[in-house]
Structure 1
Amino acid sequence: MLDLGTSLIASVERDPKALAICDGPLELTYEAWFGKISALVAGLDALGLKPGDHLLTLMQNRWETASLHWACQLAGLIVTPLNWRAKPDEIDYAVEDAEARAIVYEDATAEAVAGSRRSGALPKLKAGAAADGAESLDALMEGSAPDATPRATADDWSLMLYTSGTTSRPKGVPRRHRAERAAAIAHVAQNLYRHGECTLGVMPLYHTMGVRSLLATSVIGGTFVCLPRFDVAGALDAIAARKVTNLYLVPTLYHDIVHHPAFAREKVASVTKLGYAGASMTDGLMKKLAAAFEPELFVNHYGSSEVYTFTIDQNAAKKPGSAGRAGINQRVRVVPLGAKDANVLAKPGEEGEIVASLLGDESFEGYWKRPEATAKSLRDGWYFTGDTGFFDQDGDLFVTGRADDMIITGGENVSPVEVESCLSLHPDVVEVAVVGLPDERWGKIVAAFVKRSAPIGEAELDAHCKTSGLANFRRPRAYVFVDEIPKSPVGKLLRRKLVAGEYQAEAAASPARTTELS
């Protein structure tokens, strides 16, 4: 298996004059970009960084961020990207946890870095002009240096992503060069990417989906179109101007694109492949996307930071909700909820916990300095994902949510995803999120938070659930109409905020009421 630095050099040799990256008006061929990446490697050397050191980055999806990622692969550094919205205490935690040796930031993250106590003594690089003791990243890349040569092997660490911490501190997920490249090759194969395809680089490069888009694009000699911060108008303009051929996004971003007033079929006519991951997609959104884009390929990719691919469905619209079958580097099982043994299998149709083989080429090996978390999730060669799901009679996997999100009401298990998909098919429902709220009699009740496009009420939505065949115990007992559904920076639904009451109800909405089930 090639290390990633050698993989990039192979791409440069194969397609030196092909357009590799663009960011607004900036355009660089593979040959020209490699020159700047090589200069950056020399600059990182000058900072005193050595192979195996962690480089902490707080950057948006700029071309400089993508350059840093590749420079670290060549220099043998472990690129450790943080959400560019990170607060000073979150930076402090990452600096200490990763034992970071340097930090790279930009204007948008300068205030947070300045407020971080632990980053004060670290060498710093800043995109744009030098400031506050930080050297200019741009100046480094304007310099000249011999072509960089790879210093890492396929078995060395490539990057460390941090998982989202909801009830505890984020966990570092270190991944080796071989696992990262295997995931990129699988991404190309499973999404049927052709040589020279053009990808919209909007998923953050601190997230596994963004990193995968970057690496996969290089493998096929394609073009990575940077979009530093997502906005629908900017995304549509970039797709049209650059003739983007494939999109790989979370469902939330697709939702925002197809519901935006500026959306038009002619603006996205170049797009032939849609891929999504990061969250389940409702049936309603899936139907709307299939009609709006008419894609040749519509892929549901189910995976994680820890094990990039679990399953793939290359015809997602044909069987809405299906996550398909194990990826080309993977084996997947469903075990009964609470099971400790991956060899005890759930029956077809029985909901349980999804587990994935650690023998797969894309797998991680454990969390960074978190032996207790590693022991909990990795057992006898299998990764216990914490996700719930079931196999249908055809052998296709359906992901029903997180084990922690399961609603137990009156002794019955209710998957929020199933209820959301049902409600999403109502024409006046724009978005919906379902959670369990405490109830003295039932333990929890099913509550639906709805963003609507017309003044539809609880009674109409309850009637829709009845006629859709949703079982009585799964029907929401409470409805709350909201202006927005709370989400993370990468578009993941934040159910915990709804449970905690951290949402803005519609100004004109009536108070939530309980719906009687019959």
Structure 2
Amino acid sequence: MNLYKMFSFAVERFPDQQTLVQGDKRYTYSQLAEEVNRIASALQKLGLKPHDRVMVMLKNRIETTVMFWAVQRLGAVFTPINLRSSAEDILYCVNDLETKFIVFEEAVKHLVMKQKFNERPFFIGLEEGIGDISYGELLKSGNTEVQPHPISDDDLAVILYTSGTSGKPKGVPRTHKNEYSATIAHIIQCGYQMFDRTLGIPALSHTIGLRSLLAMTFLNGVYVPLPDFDSEEALMAITKENISCLFMTPMMYHDLVFHPDAKHTDFSSIHSIAYSGSSMSEELIQKCDEFMKPHYFVNHYGSTEIYTFAFFQDVRKKPGCAGKPGFHQRIKLINPDRECKGMTFSVPMKGEIGEILVDMDSAEAFKGYWNRPDATRKAIKQGWYFTGDVGFIDDDGELHVVGRVDDMILSGGENIYPQEVGKVLSEHPGVREVVVVGEVDKRWGQIVTAYIVPDRTELTPQALDHFCKAHKRLPNYKRPRKYVFISEVPRNSAGKILRRELRDGNYTELTSF
């Protein structure tokens, strides 16, 4: 089932139903379809062919949505790039994709127009005068007649670049089958309903953002894009647009529920909230529940490569739990100190920590990285995707993720996983955020170091050490031997914690607060 066919079904079902809202602009499905066809016909006249890659560097807005569906209409490949990418990464992606068109806005003009590409793409500017043609001019030159092209389920629909914390970005090709299957799974796993309404806050360059757009379209719902995430604006939109479901990162939820206006916001229309990208603290779970009181409170655990690994529909019952394998999925754990020779792995006992592997025989799974056979061979072995995450299965058969294989701390011969130490520290009322890393030590090999964003002025390392010593779930050998108070946790554009920055000393230390 290709994505444009799903879009056309939605248009035919409810042509007069509202679908897209940005500020005072409101589109019905039929109005959106007309603009999509006009843009698609104009792109076709300019020479866009099936399977060509279209790089899109736009914030979440109406034009981004139209461009997505126009590219799908022509059987081309939508490739959104994070606007926070460096000029070097953008140049790499353009040449890697051999992209024919770049659609961009004024804010990133300096990152696009002065590059020396292997082959110059055709530039489409959102605003007039910044490209070879503007979006407005494209719209005027198009009509509703588009030469049809057969689209296979196995044709590429999108290529998403992983935001990785080091090295070059990796392109993740996603077929129409991948995206259709991932969206259906998301709808089921999050308890979505027909005519749901959501905020488009995560960018379409992130799998979370793309999932929200597709889910609302499949359900004849309403997608409300916000070009810039502003918590006050988002809170107003939740009430004004009767938002019924949200899918965001924990950091975004934090900014919403801890905003002073949250107590005056009407959240009564919300029935489902889901998060992904990082863990959510118990305090944040309680705060979201206090304000939103959702029926479904979903922890989605997955990746760009395979959308769903596992999901848990109510984290209030078991905070931090990743739950059971996804709708299309099977997972297993192996001992993280495995030897890859012969491809035979020992499996940890229930409750023991192991590396998480995901079955590649899934409708949601990609087939390999774009132009990166080396990365593909490293990630996929004998039909299993090596996530690089470690976790354990509890007595209920549910998965808990405790960290990354590469983040494991080896101290005095003992394996220590940062997330389990961080989870204990986050329970202290004086800790707003915590990141635990291993720091090189001549005697121990590594020592456990905790970087703390404090929530109260009287917090001291001695108080935290006493808290850890008295905690029932933290053995003495795992407690931090060093505490550093910092102003904020370094993250990349996708909200992932940059432990490398902490190890390298790239942070602002609080000496008095």
Q: Is the 8 A contact 2:335 2:345 kept in 1?
A: no
Match of 2:367 among 349, 365, 371: 365
* 2:134 pairs with one of 129, 133, 136: 136
Change (3 A) 1:461 1:291: farther
* Correspondence for 1:337: 336
- Counting only pairs closer than 5 Å after superposition, residues 24-103 of structure 1 correspond to structure 2 as 24-103=23-102
CA contact under 8 A between 1:22 and 1:225: conserved in structure 2? yes
Return closer, same or farther for 1:372/1:211 CA change in 2, 3 Å cut-off: same
Kindly state the Cα deviation for residue 24 of structure 1 after the two structures are TM-superposed: 1.6
User: Which region of structure 1 is more displaced relative to structure 2, 500-509 or 355-364?
Assistant: 500-509
**Structure 1 gap ranges (5+):** 510-518
Match of 2:403 in 1: 401
Aligned ranges 1:147-186 → 2 under 5 Å: 148=146, 149=148, 151-186=150-185
Q: How do 1:392-471 and structure 2 match up within 5 A?
A: 392-455=394-457, 456-469=459-472, 470-471=474-475
SS of the aligned residue for 1:111 comes to helix
AA aligned to 2:469 is: K
Alignment partners' CA distance in 2, 1:138 and 1:432: 47
* Deviating more after overlay: 285-294 vs 213-222: 285-294
Contact 1:197–1:222 under 8 Å retained in 2 = yes
| Aligned-partner Cα distance in 2 for 1:352–1:337 | 5
- Equivalent residue of 1:316, what SS? coil
Q: Using structure 1 for the length normalisation, give the TM-score.
A: 0.94
Report which stretch shifted further, 239-248 or 422-431: 422-431
Q: CA deviation at 1:272?
A: 2.1
| Aligned equivalent of 1:294 | 293
Q: Identity rate of aligned residues, in percent?
A: 40
- Separation in 2 of the partners of 1:504 and 1:209? 30
Structure 2 CA distance for aligned equivalents of residues 285 and 412 of structure 1: 31
What one-letter code is carried by the residue in structure 2 that aligns with 1:503? Y
Residue range with higher mean Cα deviation, 464-473 or 309-318 = 464-473
Task: String of CA shifts for 1:58-105, please: whole Å, max 9, x gaps.
Answer: 111111112211111111111111111222221110111111111010
Report the alpha carbon displacement of residue 49 of structure 1 after superposing the two structures with TM. Answer: 1.2
SS of structure 1 residue aligned to 2:262: coil
Tell me how far apart the structure 1 counterparts of residues 201 and 447 of structure 2 sit (CA, whole Å).
37
Q: Does 1:500 align with 2:498?
A: no
Backbone CA RMSD of aligned residues? 1.7
Alpha-carbon distance in 1 for matches of 2:52, 2:425: 49
**Structure 1 residue 120: deviation in Å?**
7.6
CA distance in 1, matches of 2:149, 2:226: 28
In 2, the alpha carbon distance for the partners of 1:150 and 1:23 equals: 31
Q: How does 1:349-360 map to 2 (within 5 A)?
A: 349-360=351-362
Matched, 1:375 2:377: yes
Give the whole-Å Cα distance in 1 for the aligned partners of 2:381 and 2:283.
Answer: 37
Aligned partners of 2:274 and 2:297 also within 8 Å: yes
- Cα deviation for residue 348 of structure 1 reads 0.9
Paired residue secondary structure (2:438): strand
State the distance in 1 between where 2:224 and 2:469 align: 45
Q: Distance in 1 between matches of 2:346 and 2:140?
A: 58
SS of alignment partner, residue 37 of structure 1: helix
CA distance in structure 2 between the aligned counterparts of 1:150 and 1:224, rounded to whole angstroms: 27
Give the TM-score of the pair, scaled to structure 2: 0.95
Instruction: After TM superposition, give the deviation of residue 344 of structure 1 in Å.
Output: 4.0
CA contact 2:361–2:383 (8 Å) conserved in 1: yes
Between the aligned partners of 1:450 and 1:365, the Cα distance in structure 2 is 40
Residues 419 and 474, structure 1, Cα contact 8 Å, conserved in 2: yes
CA drift of 1:501 comes to 0.8
* Aligned twin of 2:493: 489
Superposed displacement of residue 342, structure 1: 7.2
The number of residue pairs the alignment matches comes to 507
Question: Partners of 2:289 and 2:267 in 1: how far apart?
Answer: 13
SS state of the match for residue 308, structure 2? Answer: coil
Secondary structure, aligned partner of 1:262: helix
In the TM superposition, 1:191-270 aligns within 5 A as: 191-264=190-263, 266-270=265-269
Say whether the 8 Å CA contact 1:114–1:120 is kept in structure 2.
no
Asked whether the 8 Å contact 2:360–2:384 carries over to 1, the reply is yes
> Secondary structure of the residue that 1:36 maps to in structure 2?
helix
**205-214 or 448-457: bigger deviation:** 448-457
